[in-house]
Structure 1
Amino acid sequence: MAQDYLKVVWSATEWVPVPVTTKLLAARLGVGASTVSETVRRLCDAGLLTHEPYGTVGLTETGRRHALAMVRRHRLVETFLVEVLGYGWDEVHDEAEVLEHAVSDVFVERLAQRLGHPDRDPHGDPIPAADGTVHLPPASPLWDVDPGAWRVARISDADPDLLRYLDEVGIGLDCRLEVGERRAAVGTVAVLVRADERADERAGERAGERSVDLGEAAGRAIWVVPGG
């Protein structure tokens, strides 16, 4: 659907300023290059996208409004599935991809009201306001930060297996972490989880603390802000 293209173009650069190409769109949407090229051309003709030959794809102001509306739908549905229906945070992305196209604007705003107008989804991604306002926290990938006290602000939902692993080791939104030195030779970083509510006393460690060695993929999926 056209809305999916607009949403992907916006989401691709939400946290990292990467160039959005037709190749990137084909990979993220799981469709062929020719399909992407034709759809992008059609959306450009409709005044929703911009695309220079062999260049990057961008949103027009109208396209951005439509994209943010779809992002809002998706993230509100994810939040509803977790907070009301008891889904795990690793289960909701694909469900929301389907449901976001099946609900009305009225339903979306009723969801927002029922949930208390949340400003982020279960993974920490900001939920755009009804007027399109987005408040992105000043977060950085854990892999790139200096050693010290940090707090988890966002975890990428791209890999459900990683989400399940992080849940097992006690890392979730708002967890307080003490980040150690990166071990570049082995590709890991030591992290001390300080979130009391996620303590695992069965691990034989002090309540509220657990040491974990994270690989680079996990370190880049976890976004943190100063504090702890």
Structure 2
Amino acid sequence: MKKLTHTEEDYLKAIYLLSKDNDTVLVSTTAISEFLHTKPASVTDMVQKLHSNGLAVYQKYQGVRLTDKGKKSAVKVVRKHLLWEVFLVDKLKFEWNAIHQVAEQLEHIDSDMLIERLESFLGYPYCNPHGIVIPDAHGKVVAQSSLLLTDITEGTSGIVSAIKNESTAFLQYLSKRNIHLGTKITVIEKIYFDESMDVIIDNHFKVNISRKITDHIMLIP
């Protein structure tokens, strides 16, 4: 297969991430535009190109989904990205909120041997520093059983297992509130008026967090 450009890889990864909960659904060009911060016209041009190259199926006015060929390429990029994030935190001691943009650059290095050796060097990690499960060399993802903090009932506790929003601002927000992977969160009260909740962090202090936050924190009950 012809070597993909960085832009093509970015689009394949975006479509994959936007549809990973249901890869049969069509992803709208608007969603891709917002995800990549790109003009809608540019998105349409690219998804048509991916369609022509057999990497995606594009239906005008409806959206796009990846073919098996496109999904394989997308998972490869995601896998490299997550492994590089582990390397940056574990070996180079980056903060967890400062790795995403660096990994965005490293994910485009095209060397299967390098990634195989990187994974071995890291001890075959299960997930990245944000708890996102790393696909294996065959693209398989073994997901763990977890729930959104939003869906945890009052009086129930859970351990933070993954962060769905990997933006620098979001991770900085969590760090300031001492929320990391492995943090115990106990839901004290759900405020139905504004959909926020009062929680206790690691049995120490009480905070109120909004639905905008709870929708992106995964817990193992």
Fold conserved (TM > 0.5)? yes
How many pairs does the alignment contain? Answer: 213
CA distance in 1 between counterparts of 2:167 and 2:209 reads 15
Name the counterpart of 2:10. Answer: 4
Say whether the 8 Å CA contact 2:130–2:166 is kept in structure 1.
Answer: no
Give the C-alpha shift of residue 16 in structure 1: 7.6
CA deviations 1:38-83 (Å, max 9, x no partner) are: 1101111111101212112111111111111010000001111111
1:36-115 matched pairs, under 5 angstroms: 36-115=43-122
> Are residues 16 and 60 of structure 1, via their aligned partners in 2, closer, same or farther at CA, if it must alter by over 3 Å?
closer
Task: Establish whether residue 168 from structure 1 lines up as the match of residue 168 from structure 2.
Answer: no
**Cα distance in structure 2, aligned partners of 1:109 and 1:47:** 27
Query: In the TM superposition, what is the alpha-carbon distance from 1:156 to its structure 2 partner?
Result: 2.4
Alpha-carbon spacing, 1:93–1:211, altered in 2? closer, same or farther (3 Å): same
Runs of 4 or more off by more than 4 Å in structure 1? Answer: 15-19
Give the counterpart of 2:20 among 14, 17, 20.
Answer: 14
Query: For the structure 1 residues 180 and 13, does the alpha-carbon distance in structure 2 shift closer, same or farther, using more than 3 Å as the test?
Result: farther
2:219 aligned residue? 224
Normalising by structure 2, we get a TM-score of 0.89
Q: Structure 1: which 5+ runs fail to align?
A: 195-207
3-state SS, counterpart of residue 193 of structure 2? coil
> Which one-letter code corresponds to 2:146 in the other structure?
A
- Greater Cα shift, 14-23 or 31-40: 14-23
Matched, 1:134 2:141: yes
* Aligned with residue 213 of structure 1, among 208, 211, 221: 208
- For the aligned residues, what is the CA RMSD? 1.8
**2-side partners of 1:16 and 1:209: how far apart?**
38
Deviation, structure 1 residue 30: 2.0
Q: Unaligned 5+ residue runs, structure 2?
A: 1-6
Determine the structure 1 residue equivalent to 2:161.
Answer: 153
Q: Report percent identity of matched pairs.
A: 31
Q: Deviations over 1:84-131 (max 9, x none)?
A: 111111111111111111352211111111110111111111100011
